[in-house]
Structure 1
C-alpha cells in the first residue's frame, strides 16, 4: 500500500481546484504500483501567518502522527506527500515514515528559506525539515527544480515529473468551428486570479469584429468579475462552476482557450484545453510556458500582446495547426502513462 497525503488540500476536499486535481491525478499515477490510500485529510494551511492557528494545527498533526503510527497498515511500503510548502507544511509524513521505517517522498515541494523569519517562521522550518527528510522529491517545473537543487539535502534525489492529466488517452477534439466562442476558466477570488480576469477585460476592449467569450468558474469575487465583463454585454457568457462533463463540453465547443496565468505555477486548465485541441492564448510566464505547445506573448506586451495573438488565430488554418500541435504535445508528455513511467523509474518499481 502507498500512503498519500496532501497538506494543502486533500484529494477528497469538496472545493475543486488545480491542487485537488493534481492530487487525484498523482493517486491515479501511483495506482499501478499498489493500493493508494489517503493517510490523513488534515489540512495544515495557514494563510494569515497566525501563531495560534499554527499551534492548533501542530497539535492536531501530533495526534494524527500518533494515530497513524498505530494504525497504518503493515503492508504500507511508501509515503507520498504532495505540495509541502511554508503555508501548508507536512507535519505528519516524516514522523510517521521514520517511526514505521518506510520511504518518504514528496511531489511539488517548494523551498522558501526567506520565510524562516517572520509570521510563518515555525511553519517554514517544518516545511524545510520535511523536504530534508524526503529521499526523492519530484518537481513539476524547472523553477522549482532550481530552488530544490540549491537547498538539496545530502543524498536526496530530484526528479522532473511533468504536470499531467489523469487520463490515459486524449479526449474528443474540439471542432474549432468558425465563430466558436473563446473559453476562459479560473476560480474567482482576489489576488492573482482577479489580475488575470482584469487582463482579460482589458484585452477584450481591444478586440474588434464579432467575438464571444465563455467563462467557467465561480468564487467569492464573482461579482467583481461580472462587473469587469459587464461592458461587453451578451458577448460574455458566465457559465459558473462546471463539473468535469460540462467542462469537457465547454472545451469541445470552444475555438481557443484564453487565460493570462498571472503567477500560476503551471495551470491544469492549459493541459485540459490543449488535450481537447484548443490553441491557447496566455502569457510567457515561468511554469506556464513549460506546459505550452506554442510560445506565448511576452508579459511585457500586456493586453495588447494577447489581443494580437487572438486576432492571429482568427485564421482557420493557423488555428487548426496550433490545435493539432497542442494535442500531439499533450499526448507525448502530459498524460497518465508518462507520469507513471517517470514515477516507476525514479522509485525503482514496476507497474
Structure 2
C-alpha cells in the first residue's frame, strides 16, 4: 500500500534528537520492510505549547489549506495514499489533517500512540482535546504502546475502531556492544536531555536519590545537555567530589558504547511516556532502576530486567539502587536478562508482525464502515 505518514508533534526527520522522532523513523522503516511505500506528510509542526485560541485557529487554517493542496495534487494525477498513518495524536498536537483526508478519500486511518487527557476536556484546552478525540473516533485502528494509553482509548473502542498493543521496540543497524563486566566500583549511567519539565524533575530526583546512597562506592556518568544544564549541575553539587562525570551530548553510536562501559542504568522517569533509552540500556546488558511511572513499565520486565519503585517513593528507589550496588551477581543476572529481552522480544521483526496484522485490521474496519454508511434499500 501507499501510506501517508503524519507526525503532528514533531516534524518528521528534522534531525533533532528525541525518542518520539526515533520511534517515527523506526515505524517507517518497519512499514517499508513490509513492502509498503511510505510518504511522510511534509506539514508544519502542530505542537501547541499554550492553549491560545488564536494559535489554534492559525494551525487549523494552515492545516485546511495544506489538506486542500494535497487533495488538489492527487486529483491532478499524483498517486494518492491508500492508508493514512498518524503517529502521536494528543491535545497539544492534535491531528488536524488525518480525519478530513481519510473521509474525503475513504481510506483506512491508523493512529499510533494517541493519548487522551480527561482533565483537559474542560477549560482552556477543551477545544484542542475535542479535536484529538474526533480523531480517536475516526480511526480504524489505534496502536497503543502502553497500558496507560490503552485505558485512555477504551471509550473509543467500537465495532469499527480497534485497539491493538504495539509494545515499544528498538532498532539497531548492527548488534549493540555488550556490557564487558562489572567494575570494582559500580558504574552508573543515565542519558536524558536537560530541558525544563519532566526531564529536569527526573534529574533533581536522581540527585536526591544519590544523596541517600553516598555511603556506598559508585560513580555516575551523565550524558545529555540542554537549556537547564546549569540548574541540573547545581542539584548534584553537594555530592562527593569525583562521583559525577558530565559527558554532555554525544552522537548516538557513542551513547550506546558509553552505556556498555557501565554497570547499571538509572533514570527515575517521572511521567515518562515510555523511554526508548531504557530499551537501549537493556540491549547492552544493563539492569534498570526507575520509578514505575508513566509508560516505563512497558519497556522493561519488572523484577527480571529492572527494579521499579512506586512513583514518587524516593526511599524505595534508593533501596532498589542499593540492591544492585551491593549485589554483583544480581547485576549480572538482570543484565543478561535485559539484553535478551531487548534484542529478542523488542526488535523490529516482532513489531512487523503486529503492524502487518494491524494494517489488515484497519483495512477491514474501513470497509465495514463503508458498508454501515450505505443507505438502507
Interval of TM-score (by shorter of Structure 1 and Structure 2): over 0.9
Cα distance change on mapping 1:187 and 1:160 into 2, 3 Å:
same
Choose from 131, 153, 162 the match for 2:136.
131
- Check whether the contact 2:270–2:311 (CA below 8 A) recurs between aligned residues: no
Select the residue among 318, 325, 331 that pairs with 2:337. Answer: 325
Residue pair 2:291, 2:311 contacting (<8 A) in 1 also: no
* Secondary structure class of the residue paired with 2:142: strand
Q: Deviation per CA, 1:110-158, whole angstroms, max 9, x where unpaired? A: 1234423222222211111111111111011112112211233442111
Where does 1:226-265 land on structure 2 (aligned, <5 Å)? 226-232=233-239, 233-265=241-273
Any gaps of 5 or more consecutive residues in structure 1? none
Q: Distance in 2 between matches of 1:91 and 1:48?
A: 17
| 1:77 aligned residue | 82
| Regions of 4+ moved over 6 Å | none
Q: Once structures 1 and 2 are overlaid, which stretch shifts more, 13-22 or 47-56?
A: 13-22
Matching residue of 1:303: 314
Is the CA contact 2:88–2:111 (under 8 Å) kept in the aligned structure 1?
A: yes
| 1:174–1:254 CA contact under 8 A, matched in 2 | yes
| Structure-1 separation of matches of 2:342 and 2:139 | 29
1:219 alignment counterpart? 226
Q: What is the TM-score when the length of structure 2 is the normalising length?
A: 0.87
TM-score normalized by the length of structure 1 = 0.93
CA distance in structure 2 between the aligned counterparts of 1:98 and 1:42, rounded to whole angstroms: 21
Give, in whole Å, the separation in 2 of the partners of 1:332 and 1:262: 27
Q: Which runs of 5+ in 2 are unaligned?
A: 362-377
The question of 1:279 aligning with 2:280 is answered: no
Greater shift, 239-248 or 291-300, is seen at 291-300
- Tell me if structure 2 keeps the 8 A contact 1:7–1:43: yes
Counterpart in 1 of 2:21? 20
Mapped to 2, the partners of 1:298 and 1:182 lie a distance apart of 17
- Measured against aligned partners, the alpha-carbon deviations of 1:161-189 in whole angstroms (never above 9, x if no partner) come to 01111248742211133135211111212
**3-state SS of the aligned residue for 1:84?**
coil
Matches within 5 A, 1:1-351: 1-32=2-33, 33-72=35-74, 73-74=78-79, 76-167=81-172, 170-178=175-183, 179=185, 181-207=187-213, 208-232=215-239, 233-295=241-303, 296-299=307-310, 302-314=313-325, 315-348=327-360
